[in-house]
Amino acid sequence: MAENKPVVRLSHIKKSFGDAEVLKDISLEVNPGEVVAIIGPSGGGKSTLLRCATLLETFDAGELSYGDLEVATMQNGKAVYGKKDVLRAAKSRFGLVFQNYNLFPHYTVLKNIMDAPIAVQKRDKADVERQARELIAKMGLDGNEGKVPCELSGGQQQRVSIARALCLNPDIVFFDEPTSALDPELTAEVLKVIKQLAAEHMTMVIVTHEMSFARDVADRIVFMDGGVIVEEGPAEQVINNPQHDRTKAFLNRYD
Ligand code: ADP
Ligand code: MG
């Protein structure tokens, strides 16, 4: 990855579902080591933005690149995606952690983590296993290698899903409401590992409703509502001194 380029760059992204324009000219760049939190009301387009960034969804207009890899460019007002090999390379640059873990229910913890690096990235099995075991330890999951997801708590499952994302050696990890399905106690253990990753300067984009977590962990906060970025800035500033009425109204609900 080129050092001087943003890890990911989304430029003037537009996305409609039928007549509904869900992303209206969204631009967002994330630099190496930066942690960006995306906050905002339900239906504002946060998940759609992450799905567009991670190629789970195509967008209509705009540009997307990962480092020097141009995934989609604008041609005659439309987004045109790169060839298969470009898309495949891009998919190795990011990890993704969902609200509902999305683990394979019949795979063990170890196999869940090792699957994509071996099957998709074609890496050496012994090498992947070594890394997977290190990540299991790092996520506080020692002793759970051979369990299947339903034998674990929600917090443990989410930590497996974070280990799975990290085992791809991504340049950036996207989180879509990683703690929304969890009780407060389990939420805390997941937020703790994300904080640890932030301290290690992992580049991350985190959609979250945990405002104090966002303020503590994020360098920058982006407030999205109605398919636009209404306001963004340093985390402290957006949380403690929001400028826009819509941001103020949203944050008031969390007091
Ligand atoms: P958020 O994550 O901020 O809650 P979403 O990105 O999930 O927002 O949704 C934004 C809007 O797009 C919502 O109005 C939602 O109903 C709509 N939407 C999301 N996905 C689809 C889809 N696959 N088909 C149609 N509408 C969708
Ligand atoms: Mg969402």
Ligand 1 centre to CA of 43 (Å) is 6
Helix axes 109-119, 125-138, angle to 10 degrees: 140
Q: Which residues line ligand 1 (CB under 6 A)?
A: 17, 22, 42-48
Write the DSSP symbol of residue 245. Answer: H
Protein residue with least CA distance to atom 21, ligand 1: 17
Average pLDDT over residues 6-31: 98
ipTM over 0.95: yes
Hey, which of 13, 24, 47 would you mutate to test ligand 1's pocket, going by the most ligand atoms within 8 Å of its Cβ? Answer: 47
What Å distances lie between residue 201 and 85, 90, 127, 218, CA to CA?
29, 21, 24, 11
**pLDDT 10s digits, 23-33:** 999 999 999 99
Average pLDDT over residues 234-244: 96
Query: For all residues of the chain together, what is the average pLDDT?
Result: 96
Residue 40, amino acid: G
Start-to-end CA distance of the chain, whole Å, equals: 41
pLDDT band at residue 3, thresholds of 50, 70 and 90?
A: low
Note the ligand closest to the C-alpha atom of 44: 1
**pLDDT 10s digits, 166-221:** 999 999 999 999 999 999 999 999 999 999 999 999 999 999 999 999 999 999 99
Helix (H, G, I), strand (E, B) or coil at 89: helix
Residue 30, beta-bridge partner list: 8
Confirm whether pTM is higher than 0.80. yes
Torsion of CA 91, 97, 101, 103, to 10 degrees: 30
